[in-house]
């Protein structure tokens, strides 16, 4: 395994260490969360834990089913004890950009439903400047895609409709919507940008996760874990 995969495995294990018997756990999406799901599966078997999980995407649901983790839904358990998720970019204030995997809307709902949100990532995701060399994925209603795209472009930013792979035309999210990738450059006030975007009709959710994270484990190339906590 590369150092990055080793780092992901390490922080995944660290996060899963927070899971206690009786917990309802929200599962994020992506390659780092996949390690956490495998790790959690072993832990549940070894410690004979009574744990139920709520996946935030078909991807994490499929992995959880394969790993024989008992699943539930937010309808049954609207309050989660813990959610574990990854990030595409994370700054020292624990603000995130998410959505490379197009699962941002369900991830945000799962994260918001959890008493505690732990983010796991390798150190390439850590940035001093949120948005630097990184676009912000935005989920939009198909009907409003062109309108939202124009609104963002007219504000002087860059944005493109994300193309799908394995299908013609645009990506369709698990919710049946489109993804717009918008480039805002360095985001000095992510909360203000989030509110501006949310005010545009047609935007279902943005990949900006502001003030939501309680704890982050960052796996370094040197083989350590950097712990970042909410202040």
Going by the DSSP 8-state scheme, the letter that residue 162 receives in this structure is: P
Q: Collapse the DSSP code of 125 into the 3-class scheme (helix H, G, I; strand E, B; otherwise coil) and give the result.
A: helix
What one-character DSSP code corresponds to residue 120? Answer: E
Residue of the chain from 199, 222, 229, 231 that contacts its own copies (CB under 8 A) = 199
Helices (H) and strands (E) in the chain, counts: 6, 13
CA 206 → CA 8, 107, 153, 217, distances in Å? 25, 11, 16, 23
Binding flags for its own copies, 119-148, as an x/- string (CB under 8 A): ----------------------xxxxxxx-
User: Which candidate in 6, 76, 100, 107 is catalytic?
Assistant: 107
Q: Which stretch binds its own copies (CB under 8 A): 3-11, 43-51, 121-129, 192-200?
A: 192-200
Two tokens, residue 137 = 């994925």
What separation, in Å, do the N-terminal and C-terminal C-alpha atoms of the chain show?
34
Judged by CB under 8 A, the residue of 11, 205, 215, 216 near its own copies is 205
- Nearer to its own copies by Cβ, of 129 and 155: the residue is 155
In angstroms, the CA 45 to CA 109 distance is 28
Length, in residues, of the chain: 231
* Smallest distance from its own copies to CB 14, Å: 26
Q: Does 113 participate in binding its own copies (rule CB under 8 A)?
A: yes
Neighbours of 158 (CB within 10 A): 12
Site track 87-106 with its own copies (rule: CB under 8 A), x = hit: ------------------xx
SS3 139: strand
| 107 included as an active-site residue | yes
Position among 195, 223, 224, 230 found at the interface with its own copies (CB under 8 A): 195
- At 155 the three-state DSSP class reads coil
Candidates 38-46, 70-78, 125-133, 178-186; binding stretch for its own copies (CB under 8 A): 70-78
Could you tell me which stretch among 6-14, 17-25, 27-35, 194-202 binds its own copies (CB under 8 A)?
A: 194-202
Catalytically active residues are: 107
Contact residues toward its own copies (CB under 8 A) are 74-75, 78, 105-106, 108-109, 111-113, 141-147, 150, 175-176, 195, 198-202, 204-205
């Amino acid at each position: 395994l590369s150092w990055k995969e080793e780092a992901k495995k390490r922080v995944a294990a660290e996060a899963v260490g927070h899971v206690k018997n009786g917990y309802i756990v929200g599962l994020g999406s992506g390659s780092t969360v996949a390690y956490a799901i495998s790790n959690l599966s072993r832990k549940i078997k070894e410690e004979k834990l009574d744990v139920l999980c709520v996946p935030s995407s078909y991807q994490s649901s499929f992995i959880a089913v394969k790993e024989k983790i008992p699943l539930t839904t937010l309808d049954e358990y609207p309050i989660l004890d813990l959610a574990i998720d990854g990030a595409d970019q994370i700054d020292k204030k624990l603000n995130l950009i998410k959505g490379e995997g197009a699962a941002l809307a369900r991830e945000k709902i799962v994260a918001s439903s959890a008493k505690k949100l732990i983010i796991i990532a390798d150190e390439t995701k850590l940035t001093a400047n949120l948005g630097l060399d990184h676009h912000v994925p935005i989920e939009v209603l198909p009907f409003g895609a062109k309108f939202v795209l124009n609104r963002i472009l007219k504000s002087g930013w860059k944005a493109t409709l994300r193309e799908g792979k394995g299908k013609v035309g645009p990506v369709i999210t698990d919710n049946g919507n489109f993804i717009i990738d918008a480039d805002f450059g360095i985001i000095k006030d992510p909360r203000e940008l989030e509110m501006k975007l949310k005010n545009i009709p047609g935007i279902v959710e943005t990949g900006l996760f502001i003030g939501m994270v309680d704890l982050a484990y960052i796996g370094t190339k040197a083989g350590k874990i950097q712990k970042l906590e909410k202040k």
